[in-house]
Structure 1
Amino acid sequence: MDRRVFLALAGAACALPLEQVRAARVAPAVAAGLSLPAAINKAGRQRMLSQRTAKAWLMLVLGVLPERAKALLAQSSALFEAQLAELKTLLPSDELRTLWLQLEHDWGRYRPLLVDIHSDAKAVWVGNEAVLASAHKLTLAYEKLAGSPAGRLVNLSGRQRMLSQRMAKAYFFRQMDVNAGPAAEMLDTAMKEFAKAHEELKSAGINTAQIRDELALVEQQWFFFQNALGMRDAGSQKKAATDVGTTSERILEQMDLVVGHYERLALGTPR
């Protein structure tokens, strides 16, 4: 990586506003090391970061909130690498070690594309999808090892974080007219999956009053997000792009709180 590019990205990450840092907080771990619920959370967050980095890169290319996009890209890339190192400390089986190595490999091929706005957009499409697939397999393996209903909810709610970014990413790819057809299908599928999973989370029997309140706030933001994603008039596209960029972050932040609550329930520490 060019040293000037690296320093610029690092500086942007340091200047990240508190609300953006909060949106990608590191989940708690037990004193003896990384817990399984925390590993599900972190591996699930890697899925989200695969999509968020692509979204931020697209925003930079399109000139949508460029300073904020630069900060998001730098912070998300740094967090991905930090969590990759943390997950390496909890690989108790050959399957998990193999899946972790695949994720490391896919990230190593994808990340260099993010440092240049002139990278091939189709290569960015392929790269983030590969990282998403390997991160998802690793998350499922941790969930299977945990074998608890609460662990499943950590995974499911964590996937909502990913979908918030996937919808935005698909929107911006469509706006760029890069893989426009598949991007439109991706957006439609992700919207349906998000709505279905939200209903499932609302009905979870272990929900606390705090979780129900957080999910209600997500629902409010989801209403605004759908409106932004649906804007197609030429005169509304600039506002819609800005709204997609900001609202996807608000949903992410809110869902991250929900994941944290489920993680603590899985650890037996609801508060």
Structure 2
Amino acid sequence: MRLIVLTMTTLLLSLKQNAADLPIQALQDATSQQVLSERIARVYAWRSLEGEQTDAHRQQKAATTQFSKQLDNLRKLSGDDAELKDNYALLAQLWADYQKLTDAPSSRHGATKLAELSEEVSWFARKGRVLVAQRLGIKPQAGSMAADIAMLSQRLAKTYLLQVYGLKQPFLPRDLAETRHEFNTLSRQLKALPDNDVSVKAQLALMEQEWFFFQHAIDELAKNNTDPQLRRNVITTSDRIYQVAIDLAGRYERRGKV
């Protein structure tokens, strides 16, 4: 019995030590991983439709470099936490395949594979984010909500562009509708925060303007309207929303509202 008590005590102390060893940067990196996984997929779908654009390659290179750096850091910070180590080891395996796919020239086969693989990468990135937040004892606040909006803007664009490209996976229309609903819900919650100052409200208003054009393109997709200008609007507005949401996340985090 004493051995069991000592073992449990050691385990609890170990968990506390793991939590104490994790800096807040670990949560910021884990959150960013989920955002970047969707951004990389969006860029691939963009390249599939519009060709090998310079801006697309620039965005992909920046996102890929950042994801790799963060993943290496998170694996080091996992320490002796078995659950974190296993999660990021699995994510690293998926990331190797994901990076190989998205670095290659875009193709119909690649887009089909991307639709599936991006879900797996995003799922493990999300799990890592939840685990890190649990270890730190942090509940999602405004910064996390803004980061989620950035992620959802990229996910929506990815899903929209893959459908315009002609992919027929049955989960794509459903995911587009669910992600749109989640985006609207989070946007309303963020706008309703009582301590948003003038500059934050201005950024939220800018995001709402961009969202108007984004939603119009989604509505037209349901009518089978695949006008090239609509997809260009999605590419542009999703990037602007992403930039605004990332800026908002940083503002909230600097106020201690991770």
Output aligned runs, 1:11-22, within 5 Å: none
Deviation, structure 1 residue 247: 0.6
1:168 lines up with 2:178 in the alignment = no
Separation in structure 2 between the aligned mates of residue 171 and residue 44 of structure 1, nearest angstrom: 23
Superposition RMSD on alpha carbons, in Å?
A: 2.4
Separation in structure 2 between the aligned mates of residue 224 and residue 196 of structure 1, nearest angstrom: 18
> Structure 2 length normalisation: TM-score?
0.81
Aligned residue number for residue 109 of structure 1: 97
Aligned residue number for residue 49 of structure 1: 36
Q: Give the residue type in structure 2 aligned to 1:42.
A: D
Separation in structure 2 between the aligned mates of residue 137 and residue 184 of structure 1, nearest angstrom: 24
Deviation, structure 1 residue 64: 5.8
Aligned residue number for residue 193 of structure 1: 182
Q: Give the residue type in structure 2 aligned to 1:144.
A: Q
Aligned residue number for residue 40 of structure 1: 27
Larger Rg over CA atoms: 2
Percent identity over paired residues:
26
Q: What stretches of structure 1 of length at least 5 have no aligned partner?
A: 1-32
1:146 lines up with 2:136 in the alignment = yes
Q: Give the residue type in structure 1 aligned to 2:82.
A: D
Separation in structure 2 between the aligned mates of residue 162 and residue 250 of structure 1, nearest angstrom: 12
Separation in structure 2 between the aligned mates of residue 39 and residue 227 of structure 1, nearest angstrom: 37
Contact 1:160/1:197, CA 8 A, preserved across alignment: yes
From the superposition, tell whether residues 46 and 179 of structure 1 become closer, same or farther in structure 2 (CA, over 3 Å).
farther
Q: Give the residue type in structure 1 aligned to 2:56.
A: A
1:264 lines up with 2:251 in the alignment = no
Deviation, structure 1 residue 122: 1.9
Q: Give the residue type in structure 1 aligned to 2:188.
A: E
Q: What stretches of structure 2 of length at least 5 have no aligned partner?
A: 1-20
Q: Give the residue type in structure 2 aligned to 1:227.
A: H
Segment of structure 1 superposing worse, 224-233 or 214-223: 224-233
From the superposition, tell whether residues 200 and 69 of structure 1 become closer, same or farther in structure 2 (CA, over 3 Å).
same
1:180-216 C-alpha deviation (Å, 9 max, x unpaired): 5321111111110000011112223554443333222
Number of residue pairs matched by the alignment: 234
Aligned residue number for residue 66 of structure 1: 53
Separation in structure 1 between the aligned mates of residue 224 and residue 137 of structure 2, nearest angstrom: 49
Deviation, structure 1 residue 236: 6.0
Separation in structure 2 between the aligned mates of residue 163 and residue 258 of structure 1, nearest angstrom: 14
Deviation, structure 1 residue 41: 2.5
3-state DSSP of counterpart to 2:237: helix
Separation in structure 1 between the aligned mates of residue 189 and residue 141 of structure 2, nearest angstrom: 12
> Structure 1 length normalisation: TM-score?
0.77
Deviation, structure 1 residue 246: 0.8
Separation in structure 2 between the aligned mates of residue 267 and residue 170 of structure 1, nearest angstrom: 30
Separation in structure 2 between the aligned mates of residue 35 and residue 189 of structure 1, nearest angstrom: 33
Aligned residue number for residue 225 of structure 1: 214
1:9-38 C-alpha deviation (Å, 9 max, x unpaired): xxxxxxxxxxxxxxxxxxxxxxxx9732x3
Separation in structure 2 between the aligned mates of residue 190 and residue 59 of structure 1, nearest angstrom: 19
